[in-house]
Amino acid sequence: MAKDEVRTFCRVCEAACGLVAELDANGTVVRLRPDRDHPHSQGYACAKGTRFHEVAQHPSRVLTPRVDGKPATWAEALATAASRLSHLRQRWGPHAIGLYFGNPIAFNGPGLAALLAFIRGLGSRNVFSASSQDCNNKFAGAKLVHGSPAIHPVPDFERCELALVFGSNPYVSQSSFVHLPRGATVFDRIVERGGDVVWIDPRRTESARRCGTHLPIRPGTDAWLMLALLGQLAPHAPGDRRGIEGVDTLLAHARAVTPELAAAHTGVPAASIVALADRIARARATALHMSVGVNQGGFGTLAYVLLHAIAWASGNLDREGGSLLHPLGPVLARVFGAGDLDPQGTSRVGAFESLLGTLPGGILADEILQPGPGRLRGLIVIAGDPVRSIPGGERLERAFASLDTLVTIDMFDNASSRAADVVLPSASWLERADVSGTSVALQAGGLIQMTGPVMAPRGEARNDARILADLAIAMGSRNPMWWLGRVPWPRALTRAMARMVPPGLRGPAPRPGRWTARHTVRLWHPRLDDELQRLRARPLDAGSGGFTLIGRRRRLGHNGWLHGGVRDGNPDAIAAMAAEDLAALSLAEGDLVDITTCAGTLTLPVRAEAGLLRGTVVVPHGLPLHNLNALVPSGETAVERLSGQHVMTGVPVQVRAATRVVAASQG
């Protein structure tokens, strides 16, 4: 590699694609390009990674600590935050202080370790995260099936003949809970070797347009389809049931869901359901995966259990080309225990159980605003913007303004930091050393990636691990991770690692047939009975006015990373509908429409989109000027009881020609 190049890896999602950073004479990153020598991504990386240097160098970054709106030194900011939070803890107890962390900390190895230590030292049950808006159902489902929320199947896309992908668009967002070899091109290779990828989604996504077969489905009904597929696959189920529990109960439920019944709920023709089950049964190996489109649909926990069950019934669980289970799973299970940092931790509002040490973000506003013993009075927000990412943002904004103390740790100011008493600037992933902890147990390979900082932190920004450790120490808490972020990282070591191929250590990889021989897999649990009853109670037409709202990812948008990232005139700010629906409403492309729910109204221009299921409205997630979550119902009744997952897609909406002009700053 050239002297002005450093090898690193992306930390936007689980894909962890290899990157090469090109530096100028001042050591600033001027370009990020895919690393062709990387053993997994092999020259593939999406635009979120290759353009991240624009985020790290964004002019709106917070680069100096602030106290009460004024610049401060790190010593002053940490002392103020620690003093105010400690006062609340001493007067009201540990549960008076809460913590919310966003998606980025999950891909920050040292930061995550420091966060877990900080949470233990804090001793509060009031810990919230972005997971309850994104993937809590998978943690809850894994806990039911495998006894731990840390154990998840790895779809073996490299060796399958057929792939079923529910609610994911990896050519835009890489998907989640999976480390894709060579990125989303893995699906191209399935088709090239004579296989097929079936994309189950209300819209013909960019992924479905590129390769494979699109199977349109009504939003939020995937569990109905899965039950029908399982019922059809029941005659093919393995006779050897050693290590498999709950099968008879599950199959009895599945057999009761005929293809015709599932068709009435999903909109997928009964003949197509039978044909798909037959394809799964006949395929040499079938890999299954589901993502956010199902997670957020209201029945994600049930669907995730059913995904395991379909893999088992078709002979693809713990099998080459099917669903593999990583040998690091038991290790992670021991690290996280039963999944609760405080096993007795239940919320004051709604009595929700803690899952992986966190409570549902959907009740955060209530925990602050509802009076009584145990009310939340102080909050730390790290790497997240709950005011925009949790539905009910206006109420949450009022709740934040009422807090005695609010501390934010982030690269940017955001809607949540407007009311912050103390703002602490954090470093980007290009500015810190790291280890790929999150992606290791979600990949079919066995690479533990490591990297040094690619460039120096801008301004006075510090890495999250050091900030959390210093804050814990200032509050008088024991923190065994105090050294994280303080250890100097020699530039010579970064240069040496930049020449390593692979850039890390070889770790264990999943091997077929090892898991089910040693571990119990539970495919039904009594706690799922309520979920099945809720599913059966869902009306056939869940829409209001005949329309259902779903979100979609954007090519250059990913959760809270791109604050203020308005590019190219913000072309994504548009609602998509089927051409037939536009005609029925006498609308033309470009017309403004009001999209209304019980929670609010958004006004956007509309366009026709081919391959979109009729009755569906699509609005992009994370638009800088229009918040999709403002249309999503909030409060504890909008939260899936079993997992704490907020129901954020498949929302009934009304659509009509706009009756008012909305200022560009809406949202």
The full DSSP string for 414-450 is -TTGGG-SEEEEB--GGGS-EE-HHHHTTBSS-EEEE
180: CB partners within 8 A, 6+ apart: 15, 157, 170, 174, 186
Q: Are residues 317 and 415 in the same domain?
A: no
Residue 27 lies in a domain: no
**Residue 535 forms part of a structural domain:** no
**Mean pLDDT of all residues in 49-59:** 91
Assigned domain for 650 exists: yes
pLDDT at 181: 80
Least confident of 162-171, 333-342, 354-363, 590-599: 333-342
Provide the residue range defining the domain that includes 616.
Answer: 541-657
Residue-wise pLDDT for 519-541, tens only, equals 899 999 999 999 999 999 988 76
Using DSSP bridges, classify how beta strands 447-451 and 504-506 pair: parallel, antiparallel or unpaired: antiparallel
Residue 339: band (very low, low, confident or very high) from pLDDT cuts 50, 70, 90: very low
* Number of domains observed in the structure of the chain: 3
Where is average pLDDT lowest: 8-12, 252-256, 262-266, 576-580? 8-12
Measured in degrees and rounded to the nearest 5, phi and psi for residue 485 equal 85, -10
Q: Do the strands 434-435 and 213-215 form a parallel or antiparallel pair, or are they unpaired?
A: unpaired
DSSP H helices, 211-358, are: 222-233, 247-255, 259-266, 270-282, 292-295, 300-313, 329-336
The neighbour count for residue 350, using CB atoms within 10 Å, is: 18
- Whether residues 401 and 301 share a domain: the answer is no
pLDDT more than 70, % of the chain: 90
Residues of the chain by 3-state class (helix, strand, coil), percent to 5: 35, 20, 45
Structure tokens, 578? 């089927």
- pLDDT, position 25: 92
Structure tokens belonging to residue 78: 């940490």
pLDDT at 228 > cutoff 90: yes
Together in a domain, 562 and 518: no
313 occurs within a structural domain:
yes
The answer to whether residues 320 and 375 belong to one domain is: no
Residues 321 and 357 in one domain: no
pLDDT band at residue 330 under the 50/70/90 scheme = confident
- Answer yes or no: is 605 within a domain: yes
pLDDT band, very low/low/confident/very high, at 481 (cuts 50, 70, 90): low
- What does pLDDT average to over the chain? 89
Position 234 confidence tier, pLDDT thresholds 50, 70, 90? very high
**479 pLDDT more than 70:** no
Domain holding 319: CATH number?
3.40.228.10
pLDDT of residue 560: 52
- 99 & 185 share domain: no
**CATH number of the structural domain spanning residue 371:** 3.40.50.740
What value does the mean pLDDT take over residues 221-236? 97
Q: What is the largest CA-CA distance in the chain?
A: 69
Tell which residue, 666, 613, 635, 665, has the closest CA to residue 205. Answer: 613
Residue 485 has pLDDT above 70, yes or no: no
Kindly report which listed range (206-215, 329-338, 423-432, 633-642) carries the lowest average pLDDT score.
329-338
Distance CA 307, CA 315 (A): 13
Q: What pTM value is reported for the model?
A: 0.93
Per the structure block, which two tokens stand in for 384? 């997240």
Q: Which two tokens stand for residue 335?
A: 């690290």
Sign of the CA dihedral with 98 first, then 104, 109, and 110 last:
negative
What is the 3-class SS of 460-490, one letter each residue? CCECHHHHHHHHHHHCCCCCCCCCCCCCCCC
Is 368 in the same domain as 240?
no
Distance CA 382, CA 105 (A): 8
In 3D, which of 628, 634, 636, 625 has the Cα closest to residue 663?
A: 625
CB 514 within 8 A of CB 622: no
β-bridge mates for residue 334, sequence order: none
What confidence category does residue 564 fall into, taking pLDDT thresholds of 50, 70 and 90?
Answer: very low
Comparing 353 with 439, which gets the higher pLDDT?
353
Residues 631 and 567 in one domain: yes
Task: Note whether 609 and 652 are same-domain residues.
Answer: yes
Residue 261 lies in a domain: yes
One domain for residues 207 and 298: yes
Q: What does the alpha-carbon distance between residue 643 and residue 24 come to, in Å, rounded to a whole number?
A: 47
What is the C-alpha separation between 629 and 625, in angstroms, rounded? Answer: 12
pLDDT in tens, 294-308: 999 999 999 999 999
Q: Is the pLDDT of residue 343 over 70?
A: no
Say if 532 falls within a structural domain.
no
| Sheet hosting strand 286-290, strand order edge to edge | 213-215, 196-200, 162-166, 286-290
- Do 386 and 484 sit in the same domain of this protein? yes
Lookup: tokens for 418: 């407007």
Cα(293)–Cα(552) distance, rounded to whole angstroms?
A: 8
Peptide bond into 502 cis (omega under 30): yes
Closest by CA position to 95, among listed 367, 278, 365, 303: 367
Residue 332 φ/ψ, nearest 5 degrees: -65, -35
Looking at the fold, whether 188 and 302 belong to one and the same domain comes out as: yes
Q: Is the pLDDT of residue 489 over 90?
A: no
* Residues in a beta bridge with 565: none
Secondary structure (3-state) at 563 = coil
Question: Which of these, 524, 415, 392, lies nearest to 102 by C-alpha position?
Answer: 415
Q: Give yes or no for residue 40 having a pLDDT over 90.
A: no
Residue 24 within a domain:
no
- CATH (domain of 559): 2.40.40.20
